[in-house]
Amino acid sequence: MTKPRFANLLRAATLVSAVALLPAATAGLAAVDASASPEFAKLLAVYQRIKSSYVEPVDDDKLIKGAIDGMLASLDPHSSYLDARDFENLRTQTDGAYGGLGLSVTMDDGAVKIIAPTRESPADKAGLKAGDFITHLDGKLIYGGTLDEAVDRMRGEPGTPIRLSIFRPGRDEPFDVTITRAIIDLKPVDWEVKDNVGIITVSSFSADVGSDVGEAMKGIRAKLGGKAPVGIVLDLRQNPGGLLDEAVALSDEFLDKGVIVSQRGRYARDNETYNAQAGELARGIPMVVLIDAGSASASEIVAGALQDQHRALVMGERSFGKGSVQTLLPLSRSTALKLTTARYYTPSGRSVQEGGIEPDIAVPQISDPDMRARAARSYRESDLRGHLINEVDLDEKALEVDKVQDPRFRMTAEELKAKGIDDFQMFYAIKTIRNTAPGALLAARR
């Protein structure tokens, strides 16, 4: 049975992903008197000059939003201003469905860059990958535009096609992909059984993920005639995050006690620790957690908790490295400020900011034919302009490229395909579980 969902109390307010959300604390904010600050006088002077002298009339809304965006952009890449439209997009990310391609995207120096495709979405089936750049939509250049404009054009009526021009680091020439839009129904948990190993894939941390994983475990046992699997692979690859309480709930399903995650901010009110409750869903079954460069924030909370508590072997590639928490501060009924207010820490006190989660066993995705060329251009938190610096002095060179020298990983994608292996990391995880004595799995940690 799954545990009581104590985290439900927080559901309405908390999100941890490439963005993260916590209840707002508005008490004690100091009022700013613009007349007492020469810096605010500069801002007002610029506003007045634009209004009186710009070549065309300019709406106040445009100027104020530009000023707000500029202030937040000077802080870090995860602080932002949310208008009514942004609120709707946020809701869709956590519990909605929409007509589109199934892509998480961001802006990178004026270009639209893919964070991750949603599993089994049209974009995923078309072969789009994290780190790809979208340069044109239906032949029209989108470089230099806004992210909202690009997203609006990619979303649309299900069944309608759109042509994307893609630049992929590691390839000499860009290429076009025509994708048919579909309803993207966010179903974050999937499961299957291979070689008596249960595989649970979590693609995002939207509502009810913790209980859905509990149902997945029931399905795996039923598939095996009521018997327990020989091991569990929890696949968090390309999972950009989501609700914090769901990351806590999922971790709690596989832990019997101890800290799951803690957060620390500028003020004591921002500090909080989340602990596991008694009872463990998998009952000590050997476990591997798969991560990669697209595993961010909430995914890193889960991987870090299970790694630090010695519950699972973490395998794959270094994760994204987003270790900050943002607070949603309402400004009106339809607008809000999303502001970075805290960092989170794994049970051992590690911050994943910049550095991410290092796997216990580094396993490259050598079944990806572009893997080697793309590895040197992997896209993580440390690549974002203005990202928060980790409190621990990290070795910048160590973060630049994930180097794997193991001779077992020198096969080509073509050689693996000939052997019927289309997902080497999953193949290696299953093989590790099956070939390792249950009590000795964690001894494989490097």
For residue 187, what pLDDT band results from cuts at 50, 70 and 90? confident
pLDDT tens string 8-37: 323 333 446 543 333 333 333 444 455 557
- List all residues 6 or more positions away from 413 whose beta carbon is below 8 Å from its beta carbon: 366, 367, 368, 369, 371
Q: Which of 36-45, 188-197, 280-289, 419-428 has the highest mean pLDDT?
A: 188-197
What pLDDT score does 136 carry?
95
Beta strands in 266-335 (DSSP E): 272-275, 287-291, 313-316, 324-330
Give the mean pLDDT of 230-239: 95
3-state secondary structure labels for all residues of the chain: CCCCCHHHHHCCCCEECCCEECCCCCCCCCCCCHHHCHHHHHHHHHHHHHHHHCCCCCCHHHHHHHHHHHHHHCCCCCCEEECHHHHHHHHHHHHCEEEECCEEEEEECCEEEEEEECCCCHHHHCCCCCCCEEEEECCEECCCCCHHHHHHHHCCCCCCEEEEEEECCCCCCCEEEEEECEEEECCCEEEEEECCEEEEEECCECCCHHHHHHHHHHHHHHHCCCCCCCEEEEECCCCCCECHHHHHHHHHHCCCCCEEEEEEECCHHHCEEEECCCCCCCCCCCEEEEECCCCCCHHHHHHHHHHHCCCCEEEECCCCCCCEEEEEEECCCCCEEEEEEEEEECCCCCECCCCCCCCCEECCCCCCCCHHHHHCCCCCHHHCCCCCCCCCCCCHHHHHCCCCCCHHHCCCHHHHHHCCCCCHHHHHHHHHHHHCCHHHHHHHCC
Phi, psi dihedral angles at 281 (to 5 degrees): -60, -45
CA distance 218 to 222: 6
Asked if pLDDT for residue 40 goes beyond 80, the answer is: yes
Q: Is position 322 annotated as part of the catalytic site?
A: yes
Per the annotation, the verdict on 297 as an active-site residue is yes
Q: What percent of the chain has pLDDT over 70?
A: 79
Residue 237 near residue 279, CB atoms below 8 Å: no
What pLDDT does 256 receive? 93
Q: Which residue has the higher pLDDT, 66 or 170?
A: 66
What is the band of 444 on the pLDDT scale with cuts at 50, 70, 90?
low
DSSP, residue by residue, 160-224: -EEEEEEE-TT-SS-EEEEEE-EEEE---EEEEEETTEEEEEE--B-TTHHHHHHHHHHHHHHHT
Give the chain's mean pLDDT: 82
Round to whole Å and give the CA distance between 189 and 184. Answer: 14
Helix (H) or strand (E) holding 28: none
Q: Which CATH superfamily is domain 98-185 in?
A: PDZ domain (2.30.42.10)
With the C-alpha atoms ordered 344, 348, 354, 357, is the resulting torsion angle positive or negative? negative
Region 358-383: what's the mean pLDDT? Answer: 74
Please report, as a single letter, which amino acid is at residue 4. P
Measured distance CA(388)–CA(77) in Å, rounded: 9
Q: Tell me the pTM.
A: 0.78
Comparing 50-54, 124-128, 318-322, 352-356, which segment has the lowest mean pLDDT?
352-356
pLDDT of the residue at 401 = 45
Domain ranges in the chain are 98-185, 189-444
Query: What is the pLDDT, as a whole number, of residue 181?
Result: 95
pLDDT at 445: 59
pLDDT at residue 372 above 70?
Answer: no
pLDDT for res 375: 59
Q: Which residue has the tokens 């060179």?
A: 397
For residues 173 and 179, is the Cβ–Cβ distance under 8 A? no
HSE-up of 62 (CA within 13 Å, CB side)? Answer: 6
Residue 262 to residue 327: CA distance in whole angstroms: 15
- Confirm if 128 and 103 have CB atoms less than 8 A apart: yes
pLDDT score recorded for residue 331: 86
pLDDT band for position 398 (50/70/90)?
very low
CATH topology of domain 189-444: 2-enoyl-CoA Hydratase; Chain A, domain 1 (3.90.226)
Tens of pLDDT, residues 44-70: 899 999 999 999 999 998 999 899 988
| 49 Rama sector, left if φ>0, alpha if ψ -120 to 50, beta otherwise | alpha
Question: Does 422 qualify as catalytic in the annotation?
Answer: no
Of residues 121, 203, 206, 297, which has the active-site annotation? Answer: 297
Catalytic residue, chosen from 322, 368, 378, 383, is 322
**Predicted pLDDT at 19:** 39
Which residue in 252, 308, 368, 383 is the catalytic one?
Answer: 308
